[in-house]
Amino acid sequence: MTVTIVGAQLGDEGKGALVDLWGGDAEIVVRYQGGDNAGHTVVDGDTTYKLSLVPSGAVRGKVGVLGNGCVINPATLFDEIDALRAQGIDPDVRVAERAHVILPYHRVLDGLEEDRKADTALHAGTTGRGIGPAYEDKAGRRGIRIGDLLDPAVLEERLQYVVGYKRAIARDVFGLELTEAFDEDHLFDLLSGYGQRLLDEGMPIDAGTYLTEAIDRGEQVLFEGAQGTSIDIDHGIYPYVTSSNPSAGGAATGTGVGPGVIGDGEIVGIVKAYLSRVGTGPLPTEMLGDAADVADEIREVGGEFGTVTGRPRRIGWLDLPMLRHAARASSFTGIAINHLDVLAELETVKIATSYHLDGAEIDTVPPTTEQWARCDPVYREFDPWPSADWDAVSRRGYGALPTAAAGYIDFICDALSVPVYAVGVGPKRSQTIMVEHPFHL
Ligand code: IMP
């Protein structure tokens, strides 16, 4: 059986906590898109593990797979594996041979392009990890794949074409003085070294076959989406998006497991009880002006600063049109709601239930970002709830939630016609109330 975890909003919904909670019953945890732009923190007792690429389940003794839909920076991958080994964990990580590689020049080009866009409406505020430029090369059929690192003759041939191309862009378009990131011999030595290490550690796999065989043997597989639906390259607020598909379709194309198999399993949307955003672009429910104080409060209590970049996140009220869009695009079978504790003690709590757009009322996200920027949220106010001993609430279960907080959750579930599987009331592993376990349904 499979369970797919999908970010229902803008990333940073606290997916890691649920992967951690439910991944315990899985044999394999798989990432299907993105790269080291994702940041997750796994807390185990007194030890904290910071990961951006290695699937978080690998910390708990699961096999961690990076699917073909990922873009992999081998430097980050090996740094994370080495750091885990230094902390006494030897993670079992497998990498799809079809996955693309982030090269040093991708990061340089990410920075150059962001600088050039800085004063324009196109500035996306990327994480600077080279994600977009790597996917660009994938689509442009000039990318280097993990499998290419394993065969020096193929690697040499691929580099010969692409490095000349990248040098020309960096020098002639951006006026860059070229560094070793654009040197073919340097890149060949670096990448073939990575290839050798991948082989020595037995990491390369044909992900689709590997995973399908495991599922056929009756193993449980958890697909761990990174980022969120509203920054999906197809379903998000283009161009303020990441360059992959966090929505559930990505779990099929990004691993080689068929959509029928993914759809036969559970697909759980992870919802933060409010919105947070690290990048640029419109955000209709953003708390600005008079609401800026509330945003500051939420930012402080919720620790809303980027895991990868440290940037303060923008804060908004929960947006139901955004959630309806995500639930449809990914066929959510259930949702988990996180950070409910962060809203405790506010004077009022709001949810945008629909938008006014150009004189009409709509209840989902419009197709263009310009239309979305013109959307005026229609709010419904909810009774606030008091703070609580959240440890005790998590021990006692859903029924112990403050009544108004439970009403807030019920409203969201009714609006989306999906059940709630879990509620997060704090950052600790023990502070998630499990209502249903998707592997046991
Ligand atoms: P990129 O993925 O680094 O290319 O960044 C593109 C957009 O996605 C930017 O707005 C980033 O802030 C956003 N983004 C990328 N990764 C994450 C994430 O893990 N959480 C939230 N936002 C992200």
**Span 314-323, pLDDT tens digits:** 999 999 999 9
**Does the pLDDT of residue 46 top 90, yes or no?**
no
Q: How far is ligand 1, taken at its centre, from the CA of residue 276, in Å? A: 12
Condensed to tens digits (0 to 9), the pLDDT of residues 367-420 reads 999 999 999 999 999 999 999 999 999 999 999 999 999 999 999 999 999 999
Is ligand 1 within 6 A of the CB of residue 38? yes
Q: What is the pLDDT of residue 39?
A: 83
Q: How far is ligand 1, taken at its centre, from the CA of residue 37, in Å? A: 6
Neighbours of 288 (CB within 10 A): 12
Is ligand 1 within 6 A of the CB of residue 126? yes
Nearest atom of ligand 1 to the alpha carbon of 38 = 19
User: At residue 336, what are phi and psi to the nearest 5 degrees?
Assistant: -120, 140
Sheet with 28-31, strands from edge to edge, namely 204-205, 92-96, 63-66, 28-31, 221-224, 2-7, 266-272, 334-338, 420-424, 432-434
Whose structure tokens read 């990248």? Answer: 166
Is ligand 1 within 6 A of the CB of residue 240? yes
Condensed to tens digits (0 to 9), the pLDDT of residues 171-191 reads 999 999 999 999 999 999 999
**Does the pLDDT of residue 71 top 80, yes or no?**
yes
Instruction: Report the C-alpha gap between 234 and 329 in whole angstroms.
Output: 10
Condensed to tens digits (0 to 9), the pLDDT of residues 227-267 reads 999 999 999 999 999 999 999 999 999 999 999 999 999 99
Nearest atom of ligand 1 to the alpha carbon of 131 = 4
Helix (H) or strand (E) run with residue 415 in it = helix 403-416
Q: How far is ligand 1, taken at its centre, from the CA of residue 212, in Å? A: 30
Is ligand 1 within 6 A of the CB of residue 125? yes
Joined together, the tokens standing for residue 269 give 């949307």
User: At residue 385, what are phi and psi to the nearest 5 degrees?
Assistant: -125, 150
Strand 318-319 vs strand 349-357: parallel, antiparallel, or unpaired?
A: parallel
Is ligand 1 within 6 A of the CB of residue 226? yes
Where in 348-438 does DSSP place strands (E)?
A: 349-357, 360-362, 376-382, 420-424, 432-434
Mean pLDDT of 6-10: 98
**Does the pLDDT of residue 331 top 90, yes or no?**
yes
Instruction: Report the C-alpha gap between 436 and 137 in whole angstroms.
Output: 41
Condensed to tens digits (0 to 9), the pLDDT of residues 188-212 reads 999 999 999 999 999 999 999 999 9
Q: Which residues are catalytic?
A: 12, 40
User: At residue 39, what are phi and psi to the nearest 5 degrees?
Assistant: -130, 125
More confident position, 44 or 267: 267
Is ligand 1 within 6 A of the CB of residue 231? yes
Asked if 269 and 337 count as a contact pair (C-beta separation under 8 A), the reply is: no
Q: Which of 59-73, 132-146, 305-319 has the lowest mean pLDDT?
A: 305-319
Q: What is the pLDDT of residue 41?
A: 78
Q: For the chain, give the percent of residues with pLDDT over 70.
A: 100
Condensed to tens digits (0 to 9), the pLDDT of residues 122-176 reads 998 899 999 999 999 999 999 999 999 999 999 999 999 999 999 999 999 999 9
Residue owning the nearest CA to atom 10 of ligand 1: 279
Residue owning the nearest CA to atom 19 of ligand 1: 38
Nearest atom of ligand 1 to the alpha carbon of 34 = 2
**Does the pLDDT of residue 285 top 90, yes or no?**
yes
Mean pLDDT of 337-358: 97
Nearest atom of ligand 1 to the alpha carbon of 226 = 19
Instruction: Report the C-alpha gap between 197 and 200 in whole angstroms.
Output: 5
On average, the pLDDT of the chain sits at: 96
